[in-house]
Amino acid sequence: MARQPAKPQIYAYPLILLLLLLLVYPGSAQQYHTQQQTSRKALKSFESAESAFHAGDYFKSILLLQKSVEADPVFIEAWLMLADAAKELDSITLAVKAYEHAYELSTDFFPALGYVLSKVYVTNNQYDKALNMLENFLNRKDISTPYLEKASLLREIALFRKEAYTNSMEIELLSLGEQINTIGDEYVNALRLDGKQLLFTRRQEIANDKPQLEQLMLSKWQKESWTDAVAFKPASWPYSQQIGAVAFSADGKSIVFAACGWPDGKGSCDLYLSTKNSHGWSIPKNLVEVNSAYWDSQPALSVDGKSLIFASNRPGGVGGSDLWISHLQNGKWDEPQNMGKILNSAENEMAPFWHFDAKTLYFSSDGHPGMGGMDLFLSRKDAAGLWQKPVNMGFPINQETDQINLVIDAAGTTAMISAKADSTDHYDIFSFELPLLLQPEPVSYVELLVTDIETAQPLKADVTVSDPVLANELISMQTDEQGLAFVVLPARKHLALQVNADHYLYYEKSFRPENGTELKPVLQKVELEPIKTGKTIVLENVLFELNKAVLLPEALAGLKNLETFLKRNPELRISLEGHTDSTGEENFNRKLSLDRAQAVADFLIANGIDAERLLVQGFGSDNPLSSNEDETGRARNRRVEMRIVE
């Protein structure tokens, strides 16, 4: 990005003279003069200043305007132009004083002056003055609707910044180190869910007369540190240049990225998909259903890979660059929909990051109230699945400069951001601990390998995750040709997992984090048994009240799993067999085990399973799976099993 030439500063001598002049002629609602009323001397200097202003020579314009207001201290148009010129040179103190002087001369000559002065107050961090001025401005009856709307937004900005500076957070930025950061610019793009791979863009100057070199870089987390970053150039990709923003799928086996100027592109930048298999990364596929003839970039994949949020400046949006969403339906991406005015503003929204919890979205915007430039925001889904009003992430995460790129780890506690390092003019990648109120829900994952227990061959299987109480399906997927499935789970929630394959007994497992803990990543080998007479599975997710045959609410998912299995295999007859540990009297245990098996049978019958297909038995403590010497063993022994009869 080309650097703008530095703006000249106002020399101290004329500034002091002007401020002294403001003290001598403070205004106090004096009668003002216009160009038609001022002296010839003042007008001559004003006209010369106006020519210099339009030519972009603001410093010369200020010197001439000084002469003009010295000749006529109540020449209001000269004061207004003086303020405008000072603002162009970032001499905010002088701009404030000159605007204030014009305002004291008249609030009616230029009715929008209250708004203009309020903007300068906000720029100068004078939020109380801005709020007082805006209150008066918004109560005026002669202001057009567009100005009133701008003033209302400016009032929100002033209120937000005042609060943000007053209640700033303590954030410590930690550099990712020389393996990642260089004297060039580094922009963070994507962090794989397991935290082991980081993709980012590196931009470096080649020569003054040549464009910057921009390429995608990859670093891996090994032995508690990041490896030296290397260029990410899959051999199958026909091009490796002009690749920008990137998003990983949760399992790390798919990448959606933006590429600009590629021969098959529909617009200036398009979105592409590449998937990884045993041979490497596939040739990138243009997402033609998603892309337009405009700029489409900065993708964010949902955790299940079935929805895609991205930034685009295509027509039909709310502002300049908007957030859009497309869903994968029957193997095709549907027509993208604008995400609406809750998220999108009249300005620009960019760089979405959709956390793995599926309900927290981070993005940048210069249209919502913020600290200035592009700020980082977050939005959460409500219970109905609708995105809520964005929340600014606050100071010092957001500052007066642009803050655009952000990624967050699976645990939701560590963020990575691109920012300018102290005393440098380039962007590096830093990590920091995310404040609690800004954290998404933590997630963990289970990596499944599903095989035939007898042949060890991988199986094509259905994998579902359910709420054990509501039994509603939260996640549904299939294993790949290698029998693998990558399942993302909320880290603080009790969940039920089930694996089904045709002609096999099903598998189920309960994930129940203890209070104050979170689920850890699990590599789970699932060996499914072919359906054969005499085969048995433990109904692990079917639970009862202590010493009773009353099913607990969280048993519902396990019961529905069994019901589904029997309906998929209508020819089967089964035996439901209850078991207990060895504590208590055996007669009580035998009756309890029988009653519990009967409770399962009653549920199945009530849900359409023929009673003739069900045999019910209770064995008390006769057939333990483990020792009854400790609670872990006793817990395993308290169970209901399902055995294939025929």
Domain boundaries along the sequence of the chain: 12-166, 185-204+212-218+238-438, 442-529, 531-646
The 3-class SS string of 250-278 reads CCCCEEEEEEECCCCCCCCEEEEEEEEEC
Residue 360 pairs in a beta bridge with 380
Supply the pLDDT for residue 208. Answer: 60
CB atoms within 10 A of CB 32: 21
Question: Sign of the CA dihedral 401, 405, 409, 411?
Answer: positive
The pLDDT tens digits of the residues spanning 148-196 come to 999 999 999 999 999 999 988 988 989 999 999 998 889 999 999 889 9
Instruction: Give the position of tokens 């029997």.
Output: 566
> pLDDT band for position 404 (50/70/90)?
confident
Residue 152 pairs in a beta bridge with none
Distance separating the N- and C-terminal Cα atoms of the chain: 73
Per DSSP (E only), the strands in 154-224 are: 174-175, 185-191, 197-204, 213-222
Residue 490 pairs in a beta bridge with 443
The pLDDT tens digits of the residues spanning 71-97 come to 999 999 999 999 999 999 999 999 999
Q: Which fold has domain 531-646?
A: 60s Ribosomal Protein L30; Chain: A; (3.30.1330)
Count of residues making up the chain: 646
What number of helices (H) and strands (E) belong to the chain? 11, 34
Supply the pLDDT for residue 207. Answer: 56
In the predicted model, what is the mean pLDDT of residues 511-539?
83
> pLDDT band for position 470 (50/70/90)?
confident
Ordered alpha helix ranges (H), 89-199: 92-105, 113-123, 127-138, 145-166
Residue 233: both structure tokens together? 């150039």
Q: Rounded to two decimals, what is the model's pTM?
A: 0.81
Give residue 259's identity as a one-letter amino acid code.
A
CB atoms within 10 A of CB 138: 17
The pLDDT tens digits of the residues spanning 184-242 come to 889 999 999 889 999 999 887 665 655 567 788 999 999 889 999 999 989 888 887 78
In the predicted model, what is the mean pLDDT of residues 382-401?
92
Distance in angstroms (rounded) separating the CA atoms of residues 468 and 464: 12
CB atoms within 10 A of CB 559: 20
DSSP states along 331-370: TEE---EE--TTT--SS-EEEEEE-TTSSEEEEEESSSS-
Give residue 625's identity as a one-letter amino acid code.
L
Write out the CATH class of domain 12-166: mainly alpha
SS3 state of residue 552: coil
Quote the mean pLDDT of the chain.
Answer: 89
Supply the pLDDT for residue 205. Answer: 67
Is 586 within 8 Å of 578 (Cβ atoms)?
no
Supply the pLDDT for residue 588. Answer: 96
Is 122 within 8 Å of 114 (Cβ atoms)?
no
Distance in angstroms (rounded) separating the CA atoms of residues 25 and 78: 14
Is 354 within 8 Å of 326 (Cβ atoms)?
no
Choosing among 1.10.40.30, 1.20.1260.10, 2.120.10.30, 3.40.50.300, the CATH entry for 185-204+212-218+238-438 is 2.120.10.30
Distance in angstroms (rounded) separating the CA atoms of residues 48 and 65: 9
The pLDDT tens digits of the residues spanning 604-632 come to 999 999 999 999 999 999 999 999 999 99
- CATH tag, 442-529: 2.60.40.10
Supply the pLDDT for residue 6. Answer: 40
Residue 506: both structure tokens together? 């099903």
The pLDDT tens digits of the residues spanning 347-362 come to 999 999 999 999 999 9
Is 555 within 8 Å of 468 (Cβ atoms)?
yes
Among 172-176, 341-345, 419-423, the minimum mean pLDDT is found in: 419-423
Instruction: Check pLDDT > 70 for residue 5.
Output: no
The pLDDT tens digits of the residues spanning 431-440 come to 999 999 999 9
The pLDDT tens digits of the residues spanning 116-149 come to 999 999 989 899 999 999 999 999 998 889 889 9
